[in-house]
Amino acid sequence: MITALEEAKQAVIDRVGEADVALVLGSGLGAYADGLENATAIPYAQIPHMPSSGVSGHAGNLVAGTRAGKHVVAMQGRAHLYEGRSPGDVVFGVRLMASLGAKTLIVTNAAGGIASELEAGDLMAITDQLNLTGTSCLVGPNDDSLGPRFVDMTQAFDSSLVEVAAEVASGLGFELRRGVYAGLLGPTYETPAEVRMLRALGADAVGMSTVLEVIAARHMGLRVLGLSCISNLAAGIADGPLSHDDVKETANRVQSRFASLLAGILEAM
């Protein structure tokens, strides 16, 4: 595994350089990376061992550039467990960005809103997570060069980064919601009964990504900020069926607010 990571790093380091902050851009949110200064984009296909991202709405580039004087490396699109990817593949990009020197991960996603105060189009800082995928990227022999066997997840999401994000949002004139993100295998959206179960378990929002990436980042000692775009109300909360087109449409609608939030966070960090 470490060899694969080393090979990938060698293939990109000359073009992207060292990174301070790593970003994972979820469904409909990838355009943010195009606004980085002096941006270089490397298609995943040109990076050894980097899994492609098969979902529409996910571009599949590693983009490096600067913003507010910080070196940012961003994944435009990610691999998901529901595509049949292994947990190790799902987190490969995060491990690569960490190996480029990033000490902070900002991970984003589109999610269904469960908590009653959430509305489609809201942005939510993730305060904690429920890994309900049934697996982990840390199953198997531990690679001690990446991190310890048993990883503390008490501060999976850095509370001071949540405060920074909330202040930036209020400066931009909107309230950043906060809540617990439940990550499921997918690829079906949930049934209404599953959504009621998730609410009882303490979830405020639900999606099909993020949780393993956060585990990989914490394993390697990165601080993590998670931001969800509430693209829809979870199944059974609003009338009518859910569709990926609606998810993308809402993410597109809030893209500029989301970009301002990210820019402000990078400045304030």
**Catalytic residue annotation:** 27, 58, 80, 82-83, 110, 208-209, 232, 244
Task: Give the Cα separation of 48 and 39 in Å (integer).
Answer: 21
Helices (H), ranges, the chain:
2-16, 87-90, 92-99, 159-171, 192-201, 211-219, 244-253, 255-268
CB-nearer residue toward ligand HPA: 19 or 229: 229
What letter represents residue 108's amino acid? T
CB-nearer residue toward ligand HPA: 21 or 79: 79
Q: How many residues bind ligand HPA (CB under 6 A)?
A: 13
Verify binding: residue 24, ligand HPA, rule CB under 6 A. no
Task: Give the Cα separation of 130 and 231 in Å (integer).
Answer: 19
Residue with smallest beta-carbon separation from ligand HPA: 112
Q: Which two three-digit tokens encode residue 118?
A: 């959430």
Verify binding: residue 28, ligand HPA, rule CB under 6 A. no
Verify binding: residue 208, ligand HPA, rule CB under 6 A. yes
Verify binding: residue 266, ligand HPA, rule CB under 6 A. no
Which residue in 8, 162, 227, 242 binds ligand HPA (CB under 6 A)? 242
Verify binding: residue 232, ligand HPA, rule CB under 6 A. yes
Task: Give the Cα separation of 226 and 234 in Å (integer).
Answer: 19
Verify binding: residue 247, ligand HPA, rule CB under 6 A. yes
CB-nearer residue toward ligand HPA: 7 or 119: 119
CB-nearer residue toward ligand HPA: 69 or 241: 241
Verify binding: residue 194, ligand HPA, rule CB under 6 A. no
Burial 236-261 (b: 16+ CB within 10 A, else e): ebeeeebebeebbebbbebbebbbbb
Least distance from C-beta 221 to ligand HPA, angstroms? 28
What letter represents residue 164's amino acid? V
Verify binding: residue 182, ligand HPA, rule CB under 6 A. no
Q: Which two three-digit tokens encode residue 28?
A: 């409909």
Task: Give the Cα separation of 61 and 194 in Å (integer).
Answer: 34
Residue pair 166/63 in contact (Cβ under 8 Å)? The answer is: no
- Number of residues in the chain: 269
Which residue in 60, 207, 226, 264 binds ligand HPA (CB under 6 A)? 207
Kindly give the pairing relationship between strand 21-25 and strand 104-113: parallel
Least distance from C-beta 232 to ligand HPA, angstroms? 5
Verify binding: residue 231, ligand HPA, rule CB under 6 A. yes
Verify binding: residue 165, ligand HPA, rule CB under 6 A. no
Q: Which two three-digit tokens encode residue 23?
A: 């970003």
Q: Which two three-digit tokens encode residue 266?
A: 């990078």
DSSP state of 18: -
Task: Give the Cα separation of 258 and 27 in Å (integer).
Answer: 12
Stretch that binds ligand HPA, among 53-61, 76-84, 164-172, 228-236 (CB under 6 A): 228-236
CB-nearer residue toward ligand HPA: 161 or 206: 206
Residues near ligand HPA (CB under 6 A): 110-112, 189-190, 206-208, 231-232, 234, 242, 247
